Chains A and B, each alone.
Chain A
Amino acid sequence: MSDIRTIRFTLNGTKVSKVVEAHETVVDVLTRKFDLSGTRESCRQGLCGCCTIYVDSNPVSSCLMLAWFLDGTDVRTIEGLADGDTLDPVQEAFIEAGAFQCGFCTSGFIMMVKHLLSENPDPSDEEIRHRLAGNLCRCSAYPEIMDAVKIAAAKARSVAKARP
């Protein structure tokens, strides 16, 4: 027997509600019921980071969460980073560095990098590697990803400086 509930939460700044079954995971609900395909399902074991989203500002693997946990939370996905047509500086940095080949892992990496820079605007190589240890790039774009983090960090710092 399956349980069905209506969950209410904030998704990329908008209040939403959805009927979901107990056994549905967050990544399934985002991709199938909200048509947000930027959050990727890959390993379903918490190993690859492709499915990273923020729940109440904390990055989590959405493949390891039941959708019901979202009830009452504030959720941000990769689709919620850009401001209209203006990309987030981290997104721009990934394009500038060419930090992907197939792009499957990219949204997860961008979510993690953005979170890292919000906590530490000038991370060392070691800090970057430690923080991105939960994200796998099967195309192995790691050197370019490291470049992208540095470009994004520099962008964020210059924006911060320009602000009065």
Chain B
Amino acid sequence: MKPPVFSYHDPRSLAEAVSLLGRLENAKVLAGGQSLMPMLNMRYVLPDHVVDLGRVEGLAYIRDDGEAVVVGAMTRQRDIEFSPLVKEKLPLLAEAILSTGHRQTRNRGTIGGSLCHLDPSAEQVTVAAALDATLTIEGPRGRRTMPFAEFPVAFMTPNIEPDELLVEIRLPAWPKGHGYGFVEFARRHGDFAIASAAALLQVDGSGKIARASLTLGGVDTAPLRMTEAEELMVGQVPDEGLFRAAGEICGRIEAMDDALVPASYRRKLAAVMSRRALVLAQGRVERP
């Protein structure tokens, strides 16, 4: 099919974009278009107005603020893929972004667009949860920040008003030498994952796990931080048995059920993917 007829707006500033969103009825925001355009092509959405952020100044950047990497919402996935700063400070994101769509779509797709689209199997969504990202949202009532954990309110529904825009994502960096691993299972490389897992491990001088982060993507309506498994691992010496036990916790979640993928299969994958992500992360730990 073809996209439906709509009016197009291309504001040049953030203020102009916010005021348009406040004024227009039934408007959709277009960031990189790699999710919205398929939805328009399929006519899953029928907006009267499309507000394109492509020409808004100052929303694409990757900066180091010392403790975190701060990314503008309109930063293209390609720029994340090729950023030396992301590779150095956020190796988990650098790894996960390679499974996001394809080179063609990463050239257009943006991190902000993916987070607001909030597909629970999207890699950037899982990584934002894994890294405890903080989001900056701008609207007519000014700016507010929000921990990523509060962002998903329901399946593909972000905690953001129709007249607000996500402008910045702050991704805290883990200390140098931490282990990281992102793995996913998809029918085809680049497709949305049926299940994915993101693991981060920090090991102290005595060889015990000092800090752990384990997140499942694609299995529930929003990414799942597996705090129970994280707590199990902290203070322990990492080994296969421990990771298997963490994986078993992941295998007991309440997973989504749909026509193609039954919940029981997602649970099995959750256990396997999380164990693999942890093993991968452990192999990359550089001991202090």
Contact = CB atoms under 8 A, between A and B. Distances in A.
B206 interface: no
B8 A46 contact: no
B5 A133 contact: no
Contact of A22 (B2, B37, B50, B191): B50
Contact of A66 (B8, B101, B189): B8
Contact of B38 (A3, A46, A52): A46
Contacts of B78: 58
Contacts of B37: 25, 46, 63-66
B2 A49 contact: no
B102 A49 contact: yes
Interface stretch (B11-19, B104-112, B221-229): B104-112
The binding surface of chain B is classed by DSSP as loop
Contact of B41 (A2, A45, A52): A45
Given A46-B105, A58-B107, A134-B105, A63 B8 contact: no
Interface in A127-164: 129-131, 133-135
Nearest to A55: B107
Contacts of B1: 44
Interface in B26-54: 30, 33-34, 37-38, 40-42, 50, 52, 54
A38 B44 CA distance: 28
B38 A49 contact: no
Interface in B187-209: 188-191
Contacts of B10: 68
B42 A44 contact: yes
A59 B3 CA distance: 22
Contacts of A59: 103-104, 107
B4 interface: yes
A23 B5 contact: yes
Interface in A44-64: 44-47, 49, 52, 58-61, 63-64
A1 interface: yes
B103 A45 contact: no
A134 B38 contact: no
Nearest to A63: B41
B107 A65 contact: no
B42 A65 contact: no
A94 to B, nearest CB: 19
Interface residues of A, number: 33
B5 A2 contact: yes
Contacts of B101: 46, 134
Contact of A45 (B42, B52, B189): B42
A121 to B, nearest CB: 17
A25 B101 CA distance: 20
Most B-side CB within 10 Å, residue of A3, A24, A46, A58: A46
A69 interface: yes
Interface string A18-30: 0001111100100
A134 B4 contact: no
A93 interface: no
B104 A22 contact: no
B7 A2 contact: yes
B137 interface: no
Contacts of B8: 3, 22-23, 66, 68
Interface in B247-283: none
Given A44-B42, A133-B190, A64 B5 contact: no
B98 A44 contact: no
B6 interface: yes
A78 interface: no
Interface of A: 1-3, 21-25, 28, 44-47, 49, 52, 58-61, 63-66, 68-69, 112, 115, 129-131, 133-135
Given A25-B41, A44-B1, A69-B54, 11 more contacts: A21-B5, A23-B40, A45-B42, A46-B101, A60-B104, A61-B108, A64-B34, A64-B38, A66-B33, A68-B8, A130-B98
14 contacts: A22-B6, A22-B8, A23-B8, A44-B42, A45-B41, A46-B104, A60-B105, A60-B108, A61-B104, A64-B37, A66-B8, A133-B189, A134-B104, A135-B102
